Structure 1
Amino acid sequence: MFDESFVRAARLQEYSAEERMADHAPAVRRRPPLHRGLTRQALILVLLIAVAFGTAIYMGVRHPYGSPETRRPVEPLRMTVIPLAPTGKVPGTADAEYLYAHSPAAQYEVGAEGIPLPASRSTAHFSDSEVVTALTTAKDYIVRSSLYPEVLTGRQVRPARSLLDADQLDQFDQSFDRPAGDGRHAPTGWLVRLDPSRAQLADDRIRVQGDLQASESDSGTLEVTADHTFVYALRPTGAAANAPVSLFTVRRELTFRFTRDDLRTHQVQLLASYVQAGPLACAEDSTSYFRPLLAGQTAHTGGPAGTDPYETDSPTALCGTLAAGAEPKV
């Protein structure tokens, strides 16, 4: 006897008696062939597609940005710090809000609100999210190095230092261990730092205005330029709460560089720092700290430190004049 599977697999099938009674009905009919599964060729094709897809995913995880790029050496920070000396007495009053309202900073935002992020767009080699990361990290450095009270008063440098690319840490540390006005190692080129023995914040609502811009410098590097003006209300250290207050203004133009590694670790390379600050006295050293002239004070006579044209490594000592229009009207 044949089992049921053998019968079902037969290519010919006999008609039933009722079907054979019809005129000209053949005795048997042909069954359509049974398809027991995919053919061998189809299985091989599916397997090849799966292998190719898996390989593509693996390579994408191992090398998400294509072939590895040679890391560009990190450049040392180049800095210029220019004191701005007033032409007369520094204006002041006991009310910081009054000073702000009668100064060019009247419409400035307070704190980090004055450092808005621009509308970001992807570049040829960087996604929108990567551009946002660069802008956000640059803003974070600016906030920490210009607005943190512990940084402003010289008590700490870590908030700013922790955001620097590891290859710039030696230069940063040397700047604070052995400050020098050589265009490379001035603490005031890295951050805003007030002499704590001379001045203290009279109002922690620091006024800020400026902008950030991001651009692609090459296929592996983003650059962010920042230009911000910070206005601080100060009074003499240890003075009474009703002591006269004056305004101290710092303009910082910074250039940041970001490699893909920097974006991943949320760190910055600070390439250039151009700083103008006043009211300051040209004759005083602004390398380690800013030593602001306070309400009622005038700039000491004398110019900046001398420049030796015979010393090739000697930077030019610079000093400017603080425009009368930059001071509050009291």
Structure 2
Amino acid sequence: FPSVRRTENFSDSQITTALATVKDYLVESSLNPDVLTGQVRRPVEQLLDPDQRGQFERSMSSPADDGLHAATGWLVRFDPAQVELADPQIRVQGTLSYAEDGAGTLEVVSDHTFTYALRPAEGPPKEDGASLFTVRRELHFRFDREDLRLHRLEVRTAHVQAGPQSCSAGAAGTLRPLLAGERADGRGPAVTDPYAPGRPAAALCGTLAPLGAPTPSGAPPQGPQDLQDPQALREFRPRP
């Protein structure tokens, strides 16, 4: 936690409660193995303000890359038929900050990078078959006094960068890692029509820096000279 000091309208204990609630949300939505594999979602949903639970449920049941209903904006989720955790220990680094946003509202911002060791779900485990997949989540949360009292929060925006993935991979429902030995396909992201009605797609795509390429877990990072085809990084702005 950052050092806690009361603001004009919120006490030390209220700020600590907000930070603890955000921590619980990050643990359940980014580290809980049952959430990561799509087996459960209740631990995440129960921390949300009731006004957001309908949107959350639609995002889980019918995910869409429309800036509002990407399941991967709310939580980290993989397809258990494709990948599984090779190591239950997930590396985490990041920060929390807070600020008062009006007399009755407290805002907390989290910015964390999670590194997962993954392997193919099919076939016997191989000693060198794990690879690293990185997800950076910058989330903005809002609390009113009722939220603080009931240990719940409202997700205001979610900015998620995840890779390596192919730009063409549809990842609104589940993240689609490129595992060790795999390379991004040559297709780009879905086309964008600025004249089309409706909400535009929220996903962007860029090139993942060489140090983020899918190396076996525990192997030294590859230098630029080792990569003939840099992998893809996919970026979302779900704005739940």
* TM-score of Structure 1 vs Structure 2, range by shorter chain: 0.7 to 0.9
Task: Tell me which amino acid in the other structure corresponds to 1:144.
Answer: E
- CA-to-partner distance for each residue in 1:33-73, whole Å, 9 max, x for gaps? xxxxxxxxxxxxxxxxxxxxxxxxxxxxxxxxxxxxxxxxx
Q: Distance in 2 between matches of 1:121 and 1:325?
A: 38
Identity of aligned residues (%): 55
Cα contact 2:137–2:161 (8 A) shared by 1? yes
- CA-to-partner distance for each residue in 1:177-233, whole Å, 9 max, x for gaps? 221110000000000001111110000000000010011011100000000000000
Task: Tell me which amino acid in the other structure corresponds to 1:325.
Answer: L
- CA-to-partner distance for each residue in 1:71-120, whole Å, 9 max, x for gaps? xxxxxxxxxxxxxxxxxxxxxxxxxxxxxxxxxxxxxxxxxxxxxx1111
TM-fit CA distance, 1:318: 1.2
Please state if 1:275 is matched with 2:160. yes
Counterpart selection for 2:179 from 286, 291, 294: 294
> 1:16-95, aligned counterparts within 5 Å?
none
Q: Distance in 1 between matches of 2:211 and 2:176?
A: 21
Task: Tell me which amino acid in the other structure corresponds to 1:256.
Answer: F
Task: Tell me which amino acid in the other structure corresponds to 1:320.
Answer: G
Q: Distance in 2 between matches of 1:271 and 1:175?
A: 15
Equivalent residues, number: 214
Counterpart selection for 2:95 from 211, 217, 222: 211
Question: Is the partner of 2:204 in helix, strand or coil?
Answer: coil
TM-score using structure 1 length:
0.63
More helix by share: 1
- Residue 221 of structure 2 aligns with which residue? 329
Question: Is the partner of 1:249 in helix, strand or coil?
Answer: strand
Q: Distance in 1 between matches of 2:115 and 2:138?
A: 15
- Residue 191 of structure 2 aligns with which residue? 306
TM-score using structure 2 length:
0.86
Q: Over aligned residues, Cα RMSD in angstroms?
A: 1.2
Q: Distance in 2 between matches of 1:284 and 1:238?
A: 20
Q: Distance in 2 between matches of 1:202 and 1:325?
A: 20
- Residue 138 of structure 1 aligns with which residue? 22
Please state if 1:201 is matched with 2:85. yes
Q: Answer 1 or 2: higher relative contact order, Cα 8 Å, separation at least 6.
A: 1
Please state if 1:248 is matched with 2:133. yes
The structure number with the bigger radius of gyration is 1
Name stretches of at least 5 consecutive residues in structure 1 with no aligned partner: 1-116
Name stretches of at least 5 consecutive residues in structure 2 with no aligned partner: 214-219, 223-240
- Residue 232 of structure 1 aligns with which residue? 116
Cα contact 1:307–1:314 (8 A) shared by 2? no
- Residue 124 of structure 1 aligns with which residue? 8
